[in-house]
Amino acid sequence: MTLSFDITDTSTRAALAARVAVAEKPSLIGMTREELGQALVAAGVIAERQVKMRVSQIWHWLYVRGVTDFAHMFNISKDLRSTLAEHFSIGRPEIVEEQISTDGTRKWLFRFPPRGAGRPVEIETVYIPEEGRGTLCISSQVGCTLTCSFCHTGTQKLVRNLTSEEIIAQLMAARDRLGDFPDHDTPEGTMVPAEGRKVSNIVMMGMGEPLYNFEEVKKALLIASDGDGLSLSRRRITLSTSGVVPEIVRTGEEIGVMLAISLHATNDDLRDLLVPINKKYPLAELIAACRAYPGVSNARRITFEYVMLKDVNDSLEDAKALVKLLKGVPAKINLIPFNPWPGTNYQCSDWETIEKFSDYINNAGYASPIRTPRGRDILAACGQLKSDSERMKKHERLALEAMMIAGHGEA
Ligand code: SAH
Ligand code: SF4
């Protein structure tokens, strides 16, 4: 059974609404330190000579304490707090819906206010609790320009790129809901130690292609990994790309996070069909960029994601070709059982086939974990995300449930 909270008429809703950003005021969240200083000076809130001190104070309140109200910035004078509140916001996106799967996976539908003349946008973020860690799957775009044939998000047109604020706000709103930020009402607030936090890892594997939104993703991930703020180790942040080759090396140089490649095929003919960006950046170029990824080593391997599609890419010949293709690349291969969605023609490989495939790769010396599908009952699994503007119609949801019951795509 799926637990779904439509947060429209509860007291939770009232509490959350009070913290939702007032759209007209620029948010301080998502700026680099330099931008933050400039914004404060430009608004006449602080003098140039105070920039360093004020930026580090505010940074601490925003990202270590997670405050959502300037009134809680206790070591800043009351006057300055109210001037800040007149000019800026530090709220969170509106939580339109929160669903909790039977396996503990949570999916949020967040709504962000309009940008300029645009409309409000809605995106999905997923939290996956596991033994000893919890992973937040973050979106980088609303929809996607790419059209990978097995991906539900790929059937939704790109609405727009998310800003760094909207990207980092997904982490902050998840931390709020999971209790990872300290209590805001007292100056001390009990800190949640790093090892006790629910969100220990993040993956840029939600909606969209992060490397088609490089600058905003970079800003957000540098904020997430800032040691005086949200403080997530770069080794616990993974960026997944369908293969935007020109940005791969830059990702290592400028962001320094772990890399995952959506590979899914071992020859160009098949990859052109599954991951059409392959026509622009074929396999040879993609693998060369992986070999050149800064910092890649056996201790910092690249993850290759491989979706298991019945009778498409799941034979032993494919497994052999995969091992050959990745020869010499420090790699881990993540086998993803295909997650079905209404209208797809693909089916998930049989469990036995997936295990044989995995065994072959394992014997060849590569770790090849099979990703357990999580949150399928709330459509939170890989490739099932789609935002509200194109949320599933009732008959589509029923069709999907029927597919699940019939065992299609079940691993
Ligand atoms: N756009 C980026 C990141 C988001 S997709 C990328 O493509 O890498 C995250 C992962 O889920 C990718 O490896 C993607 O190929 C995979 N995926 C997409 N649709 C899927 C589906 N229906 N079942 C299983 N995995 C899927
Ligand atoms: Fe976009 Fe990634 Fe889906 Fe391809 S797999 S359509 S790149 S979100």
DSSP run (H or E) holding 228: none
Residue nearest to atom 24 of ligand 1 (CA): 338
Q: Alpha-carbon torsion 191, 195, 199, 201, what sign?
A: positive
Q: Which value, to the nearest 10 degrees, does the dihedral of the CA atoms of residues 271, 275, 281, 284 take? A: -30
Cβ neighbours of 303 (radius 10 Å)? 20
Is residue 317 domain-resident? yes
The model's pTM is 0.89
Give a yes or no: residue 411 inside a domain. no
Question: Is residue 12 located within the same domain as residue 152?
Answer: no
pLDDT of residue 157: 80
Three-class DSSP category at 143: coil
Three-class DSSP category at 335: strand
Indicate the Cα dihedral angle 20, 22, 23, 27, nearest 10°: -90
Q: Are 186 and 82 in a shared domain?
A: no
User: Do residue 129 and residue 63 come from a single domain?
Assistant: no
Measured at the CA of 37, the angle between CA 34 and CA 39, to 5 degrees, comes to: 105
Q: Which two tokens stand for residue 206?
A: 């939600």
Is residue 261 within 8 Å of 243, Cβ to Cβ? yes
Q: For ligand 2, what atom is nearest to the CA of residue 147?
A: 6
> Which contiguous run of DSSP H or E holds residue 385?
none
Q: What's the CATH code of the domain at 261?
A: 3.20.20.70
Question: Is the C-beta atom of 244 inside 6 A of ligand 2?
Answer: no
Which of 247, 262, 264, 384 has most ligand 2 atoms within 8 Å of CB, for mutation?
A: 262
Alpha carbon of 180 to ligand 2 centroid (Å)? 30
256 and 393 housed in the same domain = yes
Q: Closest Cα to atom 6, ligand 2: which residue?
A: 154
For the CA of 242, the closest atom of ligand 2 is: 7
Give the domain-ending residue among 31, 63, 87: 87
pLDDT on residue 26: 92
Q: Ligand 1 centre from 301 Cα, in Å?
A: 19
**C-alpha 57 – ligand 1 centre gap (Å):** 39
For residues 161 and 292, membership in a common domain is answered with yes
Q: Which numbered atom of ligand 1 lies nearest the CA of 262?
A: 13
Sort 74 into a burial class: Cβ within 10 Å, 0-12 / 13-18 / 19+. middle
Q: Is 11 exposed, middle or buried (0-12, 13-18, 19+ CB in 10 A)?
A: exposed
- Mutation test residue for ligand 1: of 349, 382, 400, 403, the one with most atoms within 8 Å of CB: 382
Closest atom of ligand 1 relative to the 151 alpha carbon: 19
Domain that holds residue 79: 3-87
What are the residue numbers of the active site? 124, 382
Domain boundary residue, one of 65, 87, 109? 87
What's residue 379's pLDDT? Answer: 72
How many other C-beta atoms are found inside a 10 Å radius of the C-beta of residue 312?
21
Same-domain pairing of 110 and 80: no
Can you give 29-65 as a three-state secondary structure string?
Answer: CCCCHHHHHHHHHHCCCCCHHHHHHHHHHHHHHHHHH
pLDDT mean by block of 10 residues, the chain; 411 residues? 40 44 77 97 95 96 95 93 96 94 93 83 93 95 92 82 97 95 68 81 95 98 96 96 98 98 98 98 98 94 98 98 96 94 93 97 94 77 57 53 41 24
73 and 173 in a single domain? The answer is no
Residue 334 has what pLDDT? 96
Q: Which residues line ligand 1 (CB under 6 A)?
A: 148, 150-152, 205, 208-209, 240-242, 262, 305, 307, 336, 338-339, 382-383
Q: Whose CA is nearest to atom 8 of ligand 2?
A: 208
Same structural domain, 250 and 386: yes
DSSP result, 161-196: EPPHHHHHHHHHHHHHHHT-SPPSSSSS-----GGG
13 and 137 part of one domain: no
Q: DSSP secondary-structure letter at 68? A: S
C-alpha span between 99 and 5 (Å, rounded): 6
Both tokens assigned to 114:
């309009």
Location of structure tokens 């320094």: 256
Does the C-beta of 134 come closer than 6 Å to ligand 2? no
Pairwise CA distance, residues 331 & 303, whole Å: 6
Are 77 and 201 contained in the same domain?
A: no
Q: Are residues 186 and 169 in the same domain?
A: yes
Position 404 scores a pLDDT of 43
| Boundary residue ending a domain (66, 87, 108) | 87
Question: Could you give the number of structural domains in the chain?
Answer: 2
Give 280-291 as a DSSP string. Answer: TS-HHHHHHHHH
| Ligand 1 atom 11, closest CA | 382
